[in-house]
Amino acid sequence: KAVHLLKRMVDNGLSPDIVSYNVLIDGLCREGHMNLAYKLLSSMNSFDLEPDCLTFTAIVNALCKQGKADVASSFLGLMLRKGINIDEVT
């Protein structure tokens, strides 16, 4: 449903913003749909959007809950390379 909602927004001439993406990515991560979350993360470029701390926090938290600390660590490294500060929630 999340991906369908994003497509409907775009089809209706609306550009999703970082809040839209964060809500969708967080929801996908909470439901364990990491591949879809990664797809959305990758598609942010097409709308000139950059992931922020909330985007990465959703992904990192979900990965940790799935026992994928090595992948979560890679995302933390990506955050730092992009100049995004890691906060206490992340």
At residue 78, does pLDDT exceed 90? yes
Contact 24, 2 (CB under 8 A): yes
49/90: higher pLDDT: 49
Model confidence at 87, pLDDT cuts 50, 70, 90, reads: confident
Q: In whole numbers, what is the pLDDT of the chain averaged over residues?
A: 92
Instruction: For residue 25, give the H/E element and its range.
Output: helix 18-30
- Candidates 3.40.640.10, 3.40.30.10, 1.25.40.10, 1.20.1560.10; correct CATH number of 2-81? 1.25.40.10
Q: 18-45: buried (b, 16+ CB within 10 Å) or exposed (e) per residue?
A: eebbbebbbbbbeeebbebbeebbeebe
> Domain locations in the chain?
2-81
Predicted pLDDT of residue 90: 67
Q: What DSSP letter does each residue of 8-20 carry, written as one string?
A: HHHHTTPPP-HHH
Residue type, 61: N
CA distance 64 to 8: 31
- Provide mean pLDDT across the span 25-50: 94
Say which amino acid occupies 28.
L
